Amino acid sequence: MALEVQIEKRLAAYNLSLAFATGAKPLAVLGPSGAGKTMTLRCIAGLERPDTGRIVLNNRVLFDSAKNINVPSRDRRVGLLFQNYALFPHLTVAENIAFGLDRLAPYERLTRTRDQITTLHLDGLENRHPRELSGGEQQRAALARALATNPEALLLDEPLSALDTHLRSQIEHQLLETLGQYRGAALLVTHNIEEAYRLGSDLLVLSQGQAAAFGPKEEIFRHPPTVEVARLTGCKNFTAARAISPNEIEATDWRCRLRVTQTIAKPITQAGIRAHQIDFVESHTATQTAPTENVFPCWPVSTSETPFRITLYLKLHKAPTTNDAPDLQAEVFKEKWQQFKDGPLPWHVCLSPQSLMIFPE
Amino acid sequence: MIYDLSPVWISLATSIVATAITMVAGVAAASWRERRSGSAYAIFDGVALLPLVLPPTVVGFLLLLLFGRHGPLGKLFLRVGMTVVFSWPATVIAAAVVSFPLMYLTARAAIAQVDAPLLQAARTLGASEWRVFRRIVVPLAAPGLLAGTILSFARALGEFGATLMLAGDIPGRTETIPLAIYFAVEAGDMRRAIIWSVIDVAISLSLLFALYYWARPQSTTRAQLGRS
């Protein structure tokens, strides 16, 4: 199973220019709204025509601008799950699923429809119309419809964004199961970082129509190649930086020197740390066991609460004056916060060398 | 008191045949046009809507030039031994031409409101353009297409000017109800004109009720589409 995509398309705001290949493992395409994610899916499905490039699915050329090949959508064998599912409102669930099976013999058509109904837990809903289904049921019906035709590639456009938040985790779990059973090339598009990480195996980070990073998701999250990828994968804290020794940098925006674990080979310009990797420690003057490297005093500027976590905006080295911009944004569980929130100021943060990310020019 | 009822049958037959032609041509033109964009197609729109803005007599006159003995289409029909002008088919042609813009406009609006992703979804599922049209576009645009059909039928039924120009007033062959009324008044036979008028009002009213009946399911379908 292999899908190779190499496309260029001039768009109003930027040029879409992408090259990637994916196999049996689901590929998550992550990027902010308007980065070209949906356009990429539409090009693969044949709903949009790239200006130049080549799209090959299992050695079948779907599009080749040089050879003037542009296989119509109906012959591509590419399933597309639309963001709002695009179920046919005048047909029942069973009729929706059977829509793509009109070339089969009636018996086989029925069997395949039944199979999909069972696999996607739609039993009892066969004769309902889409408007009588919940969001999750609509998604499953649309998935069943797309999978019934045995597509060689399955493209999912923001599969969870149309759902209520409280439904998402359960439906995401079912989606993960469906993707696990699917034998073709699967591609899903999302602007949600956590969704991309949980559903994808490989990750393609898109920015302004270009691939900012492409590879195994763990690798991209651990070592984002650029500041932009770090930002798009959720990193909140950045500083201008320069190397002062093979394993020490000066972080100019944070006004401090930091140890790093990687040996600095190339000149670097920026460093960063993820909000949840900032560690709160007791001052090393108080205990001997606490870490001493990269520990700095800090003062809270403001806080922002979610039910289980708290985001602390911090000023390093000195107490903040009015309108002082925070240097760091740290995220901790509330249990942890309870332990130090009433402690004496300053608090101490550890920007551990293992968590620091450095970015070359 | 008993009159020749032929104008009723001629009117109904003319309207039914003209509406059938208009429906097929209007829906085909509308769906063809809805899949295209570009300012060049505005010329097509202009020509398609011309019969709506021109006075029916002008439409009739142009048709007369086209289908007359020396007109390009008239010559063509003459070759197969047919004279269109002042014959029953002429009433059909006149009615179809004047009612075409109503069908075209309503069909375009009805087809345009069908969600584009539904058509695209159908295509990714392997459906041919014809299947997309038949299974998705037509059922979802059906209320609007029906409304267009009824409007066209009403327009065809009321057609006077173009019919008179192209088909003339031949009782028993081309005399429709509107022509019968006109010539009854001209001849001073007010009683006759009133009876024909009452019949015309009755037919038109039942049509308007039918239109109202079809417009209602259309609005609920839209609401349901919006919700899902």
Window 71-100 of A, Cβ < 8 Å to B: 72-80, 82, 84, 86-90, 99-100
Q: Which two tokens stand for residue A205?
A: 């980070």
CATH number of the structural domain spanning residue B45:
1.10.3720.10
| Domain-embedded: residue B1 | no
pTM: 0.80
- What pLDDT is recorded for position B228? 37
Window 208-227 of B, Cβ < 8 Å to A: 224-225, 227
Residue B203: partners with Cβ closer than 8 Å, 6 or more residues away: B11, B157, B177
Q: Is A130 on the interface with B (CB under 8 A)?
A: yes
For A48, name the nearest residue in chain B, comparing CA atoms only: B120
- What average pLDDT does the segment A173-195 reach? 87
Say yes or no to pLDDT of A73 above 60: yes
Q: Does A140 lie in the same domain as A181?
A: yes
Q: Is A184 on the interface with B (CB under 8 A)?
A: no
State the nearest Cα–Cα gap between A248 and chain B, in angstroms.
54
Say yes or no to pLDDT of A249 above 90: no
Say yes or no to pLDDT of A266 above 80: no
Say yes or no to pLDDT of B1 above 80: no
- What pLDDT is recorded for position B188? 92
What's the number of domains chain B is made of? 1
Cβ distance of B124 and A80 shorter than 8 Å: yes
pLDDT in tens, B136-180: 999 999 989 988 998 899 899 989 999 999 998 988 899 999 999
Decide which of A212, A231, A250 is a domain's last residue. A231
Please choose, from the candidates B131, B116, B38, the residue with its C-alpha nearest in 3D space to the C-alpha of residue A47.
B116
For A153, name the nearest residue in chain B, comparing CA atoms only: B124
Give the phi and the psi of residue A22 in degrees, each rounded to 5. -145, 150
Q: Does A242 lie in the same domain as A181?
A: no
pLDDT in tens, A116-172: 999 888 899 989 999 999 888 898 999 999 999 999 999 999 888 877 777 777 888
Residues present in chain A in total: 361
Say yes or no to pLDDT of B114 above 90: yes
Instruction: Decide if A62 contacts A46 (C-beta within 8 A).
Output: yes
Say yes or no to pLDDT of B223 above 60: no
What mean pLDDT, rounded, does chain A reach?
Answer: 86
Q: Does A284 lie in the same domain as A213?
A: no
Q: Does A78 lie in the same domain as A116?
A: yes
> Residue B41 and residue B36: Cα distance in Å, rounded?
8
Q: Does A310 lie in the same domain as A215?
A: no
Window 99-158 of B, Cβ < 8 Å to A: 115, 117-118, 120-128, 131, 135-136, 139-140
Identify all chain B residues contacting A38, using CB atoms and an 8 Å cutoff: none
Cβ distance of B126 and A80 shorter than 8 Å: no
- What average pLDDT does the segment B196-212 reach? 85
Say yes or no to pLDDT of A60 above 70: yes
Q: Does A205 lie in the same domain as A65?
A: yes
Q: Does A149 lie in the same domain as A43?
A: yes
Cβ distance of A100 and B131 shorter than 8 Å: no
Residue type, B144: G
Q: Does A284 lie in the same domain as A146?
A: no
Q: Does A270 lie in the same domain as A246?
A: yes
Say yes or no to pLDDT of B2 above 60: no
Identify all chain A residues contacting B128, using CB atoms and an 8 Å cutoff: 74
**Choice among A60-69, A156-165, B108-117 with the minimum mean pLDDT:** A156-165
CATH number of the structural domain spanning residue A208:
3.40.50.300
Cβ distance of B127 and A90 shorter than 8 Å: no
Q: Does A244 lie in the same domain as A224?
A: no
Terminal CA-to-CA distance of chain B, rounded, Å? 59
State the nearest Cα–Cα gap between B140 and chain A, in angstroms.
7
- What pLDDT is recorded for position A289? 60
Cβ distance of A130 and B125 shorter than 8 Å: no
Residue type, B160: F
More confident residue, A285 or A332: A332
- What average pLDDT does the segment B203-225 reach? 65
pLDDT in tens, A1-51: 689 999 989 888 888 899 988 888 889 998 888 888 889 999 999 999 999
Identify which of A282-286, B11-15, B70-74, B210-214 has the greatest average pLDDT: B11-15
Say yes or no to pLDDT of B219 above 70: no
Q: How confident is the model at residue A179 (pLDDT cuts 50, 70, 90)?
A: confident
Instruction: Decide if A35 contacts A209 (C-beta within 8 A).
Output: yes
State the nearest Cα–Cα gap between B212 and chain A, in angstroms.
22
pLDDT in tens, A311-330: 888 888 887 777 778 888 88
Q: Does A250 lie in the same domain as A220?
A: no
- What pLDDT is recorded for position A192? 85
A vs B, Cβ pairs < 8 A, gives 69
More confident residue, B28 or A299: B28
- What pLDDT is recorded for position B3? 66
Q: Does A60 lie in the same domain as A36?
A: yes
Cβ distance of A138 and B131 shorter than 8 Å: no
Decide which of A210, A231, A252 is a domain's last residue. A231
Decide which of A188, A213, A231 is a domain's last residue. A231
What's the number of domains chain A is made of? 2
- What average pLDDT does the segment A276-301 reach? 74
DSSP for A164-204 reads -HHHHHHHHHHHHHHHHH--SEEEEEES-HHHHHHH-SEEE
Domain that holds residue A143: 3-231
Identify all chain A residues contacting B217, using CB atoms and an 8 Å cutoff: none
Q: Is A194 on the interface with B (CB under 8 A)?
A: no
ipTM of the complex, rounded to two decimals: 0.80
- What average pLDDT does the segment B107-136 reach? 93
Domain that holds residue B88: 6-227
